[in-house]
Amino acid sequence: MRLFVAALGTETNTFAPLPVDRSAFERAFYAPPGRHPETPTLTTAPIVAARVRARRDGFTLIEGTAAWAEPAGLVARGAYEGLRDEILGQLSAAMPVDVALFGLHGAMVADGYEDCEGDLLARARPIVGPNAILGAEYDLHCHLTPKRVAAANLSILFKEFPHTDFLARAEELVDLALRAARREIRPVSALFDCRSLGGGYMTSHPTGRAFVERVRALEGRDGILSVSIGHGFYAADVPEVGCKVLVIADGDKAKAAALAETLGRELLALGRSGIPPHVEPADVIATACSHAGSPVVFADRWDNPGGGVPGDGAIMIEELLRHPDVPSAIGVLWDPIAVEFCRSAGAGGHLWLRIGGKSTPVSGRPVDAHVVVRAVSDDLVIPFEQSLVSFGPAAAVSIGGLDIVLGTKRTQTFAPEAFTRLGIDLSRKKVVVVKSSNHFHAAFSKIAAAIHHLDTGGPFPPDPTRVTYTRVRRPIAPLDADPWAGTR
Ligand SMILES: [Zn+2]
């Protein structure tokens, strides 16, 4: 048994003003063959999972390149083609293989490629031949295109949002691929298109939790091998954007198709009930004070670097400064210039600083304030499940009772360590604002008196009905009144 594994991912917000080139991958995460660390990252977990199984089962593992860029705007054509050809060249050199697996986020869009993952897998298939098992792991915020599903034998998505199960799903992918290669199972896939840009839910919320538990209970019995719910990523103007359900059955395509449609209809019936209500910035202090304990955590989910936007929005800084009596903290804002100034001033230094609001017209005004530098770090590293995430050089500054954490690498605020590693005691804060959509939830729920989501208005974009799409297949909800018109 010979197994090849590689990883290539990013999440492309086609509306974001941040171009992605090869150096963006090299800065965020780039590991040539054999150089991947022992800990997994969000989209490279199949490499770690395959290593563990290779040691246990004794098969031959050939590792290819693993690369990830922090979510941002369109990927340059040369960057995608270069990384793709690097990996496909490694695959060709590894032949013959029985299994080829890829860790892919699944929402990468490059100049000239609206479905990078479909392109990669369709090119991998003739290399490995018709009988090898081709499989991929995806983030649930992916574009589950028919092209990529058809090219692969196994497509498995994260089930949890926050994505706490990226390693578990990778282990499942490796296990199913080995069973398929041994001809113990014959995976067949069916995809149901919900024709909706929405359809997402948070599994930290009761409605989403119940739906995922229902899905999990269907797997591993009655010929159903795997069920994936694709929430889609509507910050991308590509034809196959949207919510889809994928079922993999053992040899029975009709059974897979029937279950995919049943679950797709159930998902549509959930509507927005799996997403908690959002608080307006002006209501944050009153909302926080309605809870007895501390801290009350608010997620600035539309200025989340994990969704491809800059993460330097200052709207909530301005709001918190209106309430100097309320001890608060906010982070992590992407502001390399401010970090450089703070590092020059050093811990304990005082300076006038312009903070945030530099990247988009809807990121708020920059805040100009006299600050005290509380702490600086050469590399602020925090955990996210089994992975470690870096903000690069970072600084914490204080304006009265407000502490602000600033970083130089765009990434979302997954865990309280983003504050505590710079000496900020969150138990003394009434309000904590984090730049994250929902991944913060798993770690912050352990210290928060309550958690709320914020609507600061952008720049993500929050409301698909206010976006001009030109490439999305129509009809689709909520852009069209009857998304099924002409499809029945
Ligand atoms: Zn995601």
Q: How confident is the model at residue 362 (pLDDT cuts 50, 70, 90)?
A: confident
Whether pTM exceeds 0.85: yes
Rg of the Cα trace of the chain?
Answer: 22
**Cα separations (Å) of 296 from 91, 213, 304, 351, 432?**
49, 28, 18, 29, 6
Of 183-187, 200-204, 443-447, the poorest mean pLDDT is in 200-204
pLDDT digits (tens, 9 = 90+) for 227-257: 999 999 999 999 999 999 999 999 999 999 9
What is the overall mean pLDDT for the chain? 96
Spacing, Cα 18 to ligand 1 middle (Å)? 19
Give the pLDDT band of residue 95 (cuts 50, 70, 90): very high
Q: Does residue 488 carry a pLDDT above 80? A: no
Distance CA 475, CA 303 (A): 29
Which residue(s) pair with 400 in the sheet?
none
Return the half-sphere exposure (C-beta side, CA atoms, 13 A cut-off) of residue 449.
17
Tokens of 12: 């492309």
Q: What per-residue confidence (pLDDT) applies to 462?
A: 87
Q: How far is the CA of 85 from the centre of ligand 1 (A)?
A: 25
Ligand 1 mean position, distance from CA 107 (Å): 9
Q: How far is the CA of 372 from the centre of ligand 1 (A)?
A: 36
pLDDT at residue 238 in the model: 98
* Cα of 205 from ligand 1 centre, angstroms: 16
For residue 160, the CA-to-ligand 1 centroid distance in Å is 9
pLDDT tens figures, 412-459: 999 999 999 999 999 999 999 999 999 999 999 999 999 999 999 878
pLDDT of residue 65: 98
**How far does the centroid of ligand 1 lie from the alpha carbon of residue 159, in Å?**
10
372 forms beta bridges with 350, 398
Bridge partners of residue 26, in order along the sequence: none
Is residue 78's pLDDT more than 90? Answer: yes
User: How much distance in Å is there from the Cα of 437 to the middle of ligand 1?
Assistant: 9
Tell me, in angstroms, the distance from the centre of ligand 1 to residue 352's CA: 37
- Single-letter amino acid, residue 411: T
Whether the pLDDT of residue 486 is over 90: the answer is: no
What is the predicted pLDDT for the residue at 458? 79
Q: How far is the CA of 349 from the centre of ligand 1 (A)?
A: 38
